[in-house]
Amino acid sequence: MTDSEKPTAFRSERHDHAACVAEALARADSVCAQRGLRLTAMRRRILELIWQNHTPSKAYDLLDLVRQEHRGAAPPTVYRALEFLRDAGLVHHLESIDAFVGCDADECRGQPQFLICRGCQRVAEIHSQRLAHDAAVEALGAGFQAENEIIELHGICDACREGTA
Ligand SMILES: [Zn+2]
Ligand SMILES: [Zn+2]
Ligand SMILES: [Zn+2]
């Protein structure tokens, strides 16, 4: 984690992704232990598949991957596992592209904002309380009670913009 480059929520290309995966799985274990949730083999495997990279995964692609390993895996099993992971806060569902990405934050409280790169398809999450708060306040002012202040921003990451991704 000693990136001397300019700050970015996106990991550098040379980052140790095995460490990301190990960290995510360790976090899943501790979250589930703390909350008395059961991280079954299926749930764990799907989390691992989602963490194959930092790009979002479609539910049906995950189903395909699982079926390569478990021939008889039924779609509801996979979809329920995804729901479990989402409810546990271990993955996020990106509404705008209907895909799942692993939660990349140690403390993912409140409403994250997602940065979705159209170049490399990677997603990074940031946590600006100000943005979430302002969205809620602006909505209230517009006569609307926001129940979900998650913001998904589409654009281009530095690495893509500089042609280094
Ligand atoms: Zn990584
Ligand atoms: Zn998160
Ligand atoms: Zn990019």
The 3 state secondary structure assigned to 51-95 is CCCCCCECHHHHHHHHHHHCCCCCHHHHHHHHHHHHHCCCEEEEC
Kindly list the strands in the beta sheet with 123-126, ordered across the sheet, starting from the edge strand earlier in the chain: 123-126, 113-117, 151-155
Q: Which residues of 86-109 are buried (b: 16+ CB within 10 A; e: fewer)?
A: eebebbbbbeebebbbbbbeeebe
Q: Which domains does the chain have, with CATH numbers?
A: 14-92 (1.10.10.10), 109-165 (3.30.1490.190)
Centroid of ligand 3 to alpha carbon of 121 (angstroms) = 6
Distance 134 CA to ligand 1 centre (A): 31
Q: Which ligand places an atom closest to the C-alpha of 123? A: 3
pLDDT tens sequence across 105-154 = 877 877 899 999 999 999 999 999 999 899 999 999 999 999 888 899 99
Closest ligand to C-alpha of residue 8 is: 3
Q: For residue 125, how far is its CA from the centre of ligand 2 (angstroms)?
A: 7
User: Which three-class secondary structure state does DSSP give residue 125?
Assistant: strand
- Rounded to the nearest whole angstrom, what is the distance from the C-alpha of residue 165 to the centroid of ligand 3? 6
Tens-digit pLDDT profile for residues 21-60? 999 999 999 999 999 999 999 999 999 999 999 999 999 9
Residue reference for tokens 């790009």: 55
Q: Which ligand is nearest to the CA of 122?
A: 3
pTM of the model: 0.90
